[in-house]
DNA sequence: GTAAACCACGTACTATGGTCTACAAATGTT
DNA sequence: AACATTTGTAGACCATAGTACGTGGTTTAC
């Protein structure tokens, strides 16, 4: 079984944002988040809280559960192993 | 429009956990999270990251998107206002 | 009653979410 | 080429996610 430490949103976030032809700066403005933070999310350096998921989804025009559903598809077959046990 | 600062998972989390007749400690063990942290989530003192949502959903036997869908239903009509603008 | 399970709650601590400023490196446009 | 737009990246900073310890209070069962 494949193991990962965290759920990362970079691929999904970038894909949706590009499909909406939106820049990081525009997404940052619409979600009232920082542009450099959006960049970090897309490069999988940070992971968002549930509130940030809601903000991003709203700004991208889809439901948070739809966003999360795309994450599920990406991480099918993976289990999360906690490093700090 | 009703405004909130954060998405809180307390009500949904507690409801699902109780419906599965699971204690906080058992949920903590299954999700490899701390029991007192589960307690804080249920009392809306902390908000989880997306990884924690996945861990909790897995432990509770539902899909993360289903968990988030329940949150959506709870927060229909609410907008998130950022305090730290 | 008393034991045992469950949970609220406090405090202290480490790790990381998220902001902000600034600059470099791509990428696109003409 | 030159210019504008977009994105990567670093470093400092504050707020909070998450752990770990304890204590006390409530419920359920014997």
pLDDT in tens, B29-82: 999 999 999 999 999 999 999 999 999 999 999 999 999 999 999 999 999 987
Which of A3, A5, A6, A7 to mutate: most B Cβ within 10 Å?
A7
Closest CA of chain B from A21, distance in Å: 24
Closest CA to B69 of A6, A67, A11, A79: A67
Closest CA to B15 of B73, B78, B54, B80: B73
Q: Which two tokens stand for residue A29?
A: 């403005």
Task: Tell me the backbone φ, ψ of residue B63, rounded to 5 degrees.
Answer: -80, 145
Which of A11, A37, A50 to mutate: most B Cβ within 10 Å?
A50
> Degrees (nearest 5) of the Cα angle A44, B3, B11?
75
For A7-21, the pLDDT digits (tens) are 999 999 999 999 999
Closest CA of chain B from A72, distance in Å: 7
A-chain CB neighbours of B75 within 8 Å are 54
Closest CA of chain A from B25, distance in Å: 15
CB-strand contact B49/C, under 7 Å: yes
Helix A64-74, helix B50-60: angle, nearest 10:
80
Can you give the distance from the CA of residue A57 to the C1' of nucleotide D27 in angstroms? 42
Beta strands in chain A (DSSP E): 2-4, 78-80
Query: Mean of the pLDDT values across residues A37-60?
Result: 97
Q: Domains along chain B? A: 2-80 (1.10.260.40)
Confidence of residue B2 (pLDDT cuts 50, 70, 90): confident
State the Cα–Cα distance between residues A37 and A41, nearest whole angstrom: 6
Residue A54, burial from CB neighbour count under 10 angstroms (0-12, 13-18, 19+):
buried
Nucleotide nearest to A85 (CA to C1'): D19
């Amino acid at each position: 079984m494949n193991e990962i430490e965290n759920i990362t949103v970079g691929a999904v976030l970038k894909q949706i944002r590009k499909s909406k032809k939106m820049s990081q700066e525009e997404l940052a403005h619409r979600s009232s988040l920082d542009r450099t933070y959006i960049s970090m999310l897309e490069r999988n350096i940070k992971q968002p809280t549930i509130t940030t998921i809601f903000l991003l989804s709203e700004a991208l025009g889809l439901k948070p559960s739809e966003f999360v559903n795309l994450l599920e598809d990406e991480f099918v077959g993976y289990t999360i192993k906690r490093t700090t046990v």
